[in-house]
Amino acid sequence: MDKWDVVIIGGGLAGYVASNYLARSKLSVLMLEKGKQVGGRARTTKIKGQYFNLGPHALYKKGKAWVILEELGIQLDGKRPKPDGILTGDNHEFIAPFSAIGVLTTHYLNWKEKVEWLAVLSEVIRVDVQKIAELTFCQWVTQTARSKKVQSLLFVLGRLSAYCHAPERVGAAVILSHLKSVLGGVIYLNGGWQTIIDQLHNQAVITGVQIQTHKTVEQITETSTDSLKVVLSDGEEILGRNVIYTAGPQELAGMLGKDEGAFFRNMIPVKGATLDIALTKLPRPKKLFAMDIRKPFYMSVHSACARLSEDKDNSVLHVFKYFHPDEKIDGTKVKEELEQFLEGIQPDWKDHVITSRYMPQITVNHRLPQIGDEFQLGSSTTEIPGLYIAGDWACPDLILAEGAASSAKRAAAEIIKNRMG
């Protein structure tokens, strides 16, 4: 095609959501993915009959991504984990007060603290996030909760809901938006998140979207013909009336130049380490979820609620460490930390390993959400006419899959509106 209506750069969740909306409006759409596989961080890898997501993934049942995916006709098959588990700290285990029974039975809180905890959870549900846009999450927590233990629980839930381990730097509005959704429940998906990508891919192809892999974009420039030119690393040039960029913001900054890309260049990625493991059996089958109270560690057996193995008796779990943006990462040491954390919950787990995968440093989200970001991300348009942004970093009030799906729908809607208007 001489000129596409829309060229989408990046074949992850945002790219596929946008392409599906655009194709419904009969626009010609080309998607370019630099890797050999599409899906981005929503990919699922099958290893020895076990299905591994890229670290722990959960879909909010009350989130915007859920609504968008259902709107696109995507089947979301899985179960909701029970809101219980354990908290660890100082060589002790406590029942997590994340359910009514948990609040009543936990020894982590005394009765006065339990009353305060319930009041704080009620405040989380009621809070108007627009009114706390100028607060960091740490500031909001210390203003809302008096008890140090209640504050520690809020920090634990903040990490769980948004993967961010920098409460003194992240905006309270974004973290609480995600925390509200987490309290509404999550599901683990049968077959992993690849099932979402596969359905979006099939629908895109059926509706005429052209998808090309191994296509690395090096530059996006304006032309004199009311279009944008996308230049690939092999010298190929592609023309599009509109371009939606969904890959990393730092890469976009390099394509745009010093002035236009300054905001994108300064974004700080959210990172973590994941140990993905399949076991023939769980040494402690009732210990399915755990988080450390003071240290940024997480463990969850996702196969307890989702089919993630060809053998229903196997267990697939994820052990995760949330990194602070300033942390110096020693991959060998972090792996030992993750293994030790799991050992405390599932002793002798190494005797039952089928397969495992360790990734010492993965980008969980491309933007650490900070105060003021919303002013730069109020629209999917950029300074370059016809260039739109979408992705986990491109939504003013959401990150992760929530931000990716929401910003993708917004970008597609703006292009369709401009075409119609």
Reported as a single tens digit per residue, the pLDDT across 236-289 is 999 999 999 999 999 998 887 666 678 899 999 999 999 999 999 999 999 999
Parallel, antiparallel or unpaired: strands 237-245 and 4-9: parallel
Yes or no: say if 323 and 316 are a contact pair by the CB < 8 Å rule. Answer: no
Divide the 421 residues of the chain into consecutive groups of 10 and give the mean pLDDT of each group.
92 98 95 96 97 97 96 96 91 94 96 97 95 97 97 98 97 97 95 98 97 95 89 95 96 77 90 98 97 97 97 97 97 98 97 98 97 92 93 97 98 92 59
Give domain limits for the chain: 4-42+194-267+368-420, 44-61+270-365, 98-184
Give the bridge partners for 319, in sequence order.
275, 299
Q: Which pair of tokens denotes residue 357?
A: 């995968």
- Of 289, 369, 357, 323, whose CA–CA distance to 53 is shortest? 357
Q: What is the CATH number of domain 98-184?
A: 1.10.405
Q: Which pair of tokens denotes residue 250?
A: 């730092």
C-beta atoms surrounding 192 within 10 Å = 26
The fold adopted by the segment(s) 4-42+194-267+368-420 is FAD/NAD(P)-binding domain (3.50.50)
- pTM value is 0.95
